[in-house]
Amino acid sequence: MYQYDAIDRAFLTDRVEEFRHQVARRLAGEITEDQFKPLRLMNGLYLQLHAYMLRIAIPYGTLSAVQLRQLAHIARTYDKGYGHFTTRTNLQFHWIKLRDAGDILADLAKVDLHAIQTSGNCIRNVTADPRAGATAEEVDDPRVWAEVIRQWSTLHPEFSFLPRKFKIAVTASAKDRTAARTHDIGLALRRGRDGDLGFEVMVGGGLGRTPYIGKTIREHLPVSRLLSYLEAVLRVYNRHGRRDNIYKARIKILVAQLGAEAFAREVEDEWAKLDPARVDLPDLELARIRAFFAPPNFDVLPAVSEAFEAAKARDTGFARFARHNVHPHKARGYAIVDVSLKAPGQTPGDASAEQMDLIADLAERYSLGEVRVTLEQNLVLPHVKLDDLPAVYAALATQGLASANIELVSDIIACPGLDYCALANARSINIAQDIALRFADPAKAEAIGELKIKISGCINACGHHHVGHIGILGVDKKGEEFYQLTLGGSGAEDAEVGKMLGPALPAGRVAEAIDELVEVYLRERRDGERFLDTYRRTGLEPFKEAVYATAH
């Protein structure tokens, strides 16, 4: 876990007081809304349809139990008793009052949290693999590097007014759980032939209006040179990125227009001019940061837990939970547990204050005080003993948190959509609820297997619809909500943008159409194929035929 020092804490306190002062000046009429808006956005405070929304940065999705409990406190005290976890592993409160904002930021600062750089044209909260420090798959702990980038990018004066927002993800496993190739910069830690650690640097990915999969511009960047290389990329972007057209301002457009090779050359030229001693992190500082993430003292345990095995044999629900939500841990006798915030019929990513408190309690008792947030809008207890899994499952079930549906059809990503968001054209949540309820039978969902459905209520693609195995985009067709389906997207290591299935469907047809797509898959699939694999083999046609051939 990252640790704040006295300077960090003093800075946050000052920042809270500064914002209180800015709010007071706004309320007194000393500054206009046009002057105040950028100031509140710099503190994560947006105005949405029904109220203000506060977006809180959760650094690379890592939370302590104490922090999660504080978020529950804020939900209860200042909001309507819940929060919404986002695809950028942040937390949003949707019913915030301007008059409370200063107090909320002060409460956040008490647990080393803030809402800085969750808006604006700056480097946003860095994301990382939610299984960091727990999975045996990784070559290094990506949180170390995410924290390095966070410290470097926080309030970086040169990169506070970029042409557009800038998102960075760090993964260290072959299986990518960060959607690295959909980020402005994706970093994948790898070992070179000589065993040295390096980053594969992917640049120019992004979703939104013009989706691109990031291109690799450097196969193996020595880790010690990370910051200077990032600085070179940002400088090239800052210099050449378009500021005249908001729709063409992201780095993905620059990379696409220049071509990845030419862009890489520009970066290399800029990089050569930088003084490594000035920019790159000294070894001592890296060691200090690395110490924050020193592996905890795991107990020495047998690889097999009798209690776990007996519970699986006894309880089919628990056995299903073990199959889908429990993942191998690097320490013998431990497991990584995904906590689904996708109980069919619920709002994807929402957690009540009671649920947050429960997960914080479970983290403290069973997971060394740690919680993670995933881009799939779920939570993770990263270090649970196999022996404790039955107790954790039983406790989760008391708050409706034991859905065994990770990566299944009902584990749907959905942005807040038109129910809350001022940018949305159509609702997302109701569509997610319809689909999840249609596939609420866990045996049916399990028989279908991995199927990632992602829903956005507008082209800005907060719901990552472009990279859903099935993507759903809400559009406004002459004032009515319609939904455009895409197939074959992936945000994982095999990243790909989905292909449009056909004309948009009315809201009432969407869940039914998903059922039809699933039927085609079940009919066509060969041994071991996921939905995505079958689609890649058969192409769009059989799916298209099923949805559009019958007259509806």
For residues 82 to 101, the per-residue mask of contacts with another protein, x marking binding by CB under 8 A and - elsewhere, is -------------xxxxx--
In Å, the largest CA–CA distance within the chain is: 68
Give 427 or 544: the residue with its C-beta nearer to another protein.
427
Only segment of 358-366, 368-376, 425-433, 540-548 that touches another protein (CB under 8 A): 425-433
425 contacts another protein (rule: CB under 8 A): yes
Shortest spacing between CB 115 and another protein, in angstroms: 16
The distance of closest approach from Cβ of residue 23 to another protein in the complex, given in angstroms and rounded to an integer, is 9
Q: Give the strand pairing for 168-171 and 127-128.
A: parallel
Which conformational region is residue 481 in: left (phi greater than 0), alpha (psi within -120 to 50 degrees), or beta?
Answer: beta
CB of 166 to another protein, least distance (A): 27
Handedness of CA 376, 69, 327, 199 (dihedral sign): positive
Q: For the window 21-60, what string marks contact with another protein as x by the rule CB under 8 A?
A: -----xxxx--xx-------------xxxxxx--------
537 binds another protein (CB under 8 A): no
Stretch that binds another protein, among 328-336, 363-371, 389-397, 424-432 (CB under 8 A): 424-432
Select from 149, 227, 358, 429 the one that contacts another protein (CB under 8 A). Answer: 429
Contact 451, 531 (CB under 8 A): yes
Scan for tokens 């020193």, then name that residue: 294
| Of 22, 94, 23, 26, nearest in space to 56 by CA | 94
Least Å distance, CB 481 to another protein, is 7
| Helix 306-314 vs helix 316-325: crossing angle, to nearest 10 | 120
Q: Which of 129, 176, 388, 481 binds another protein (CB under 8 A)?
A: 481
Tell me how far, at minimum, the Cβ of 359 lies from another protein, in Å. Answer: 21
Helices 251-258 & 260-273, crossing angle to 10 degrees? 110
Among the listed ranges 9-17, 120-128, 332-340, 421-429, the one in contact with another protein (CB under 8 A) is 421-429
Query: Torsion-angle region of residue 416: left (phi > 0), alpha (psi -120 to 50) or beta?
Result: alpha
- With tokens 């035929």, the residue in question is 545
Nearer to another protein (CB atom), residue 97 or residue 537? 97
Residues 6+ apart with CB under 8 A from 341: 85, 348, 349, 350, 351, 377, 378, 379, 401
Closest CB 340 distance from another protein, rounded Å: 17
User: Which positions touch another protein (CB under 8 A)?
Assistant: 26-29, 32-33, 47-52, 80, 95-99, 347, 418-420, 425-427, 429-430, 433, 476, 479-481
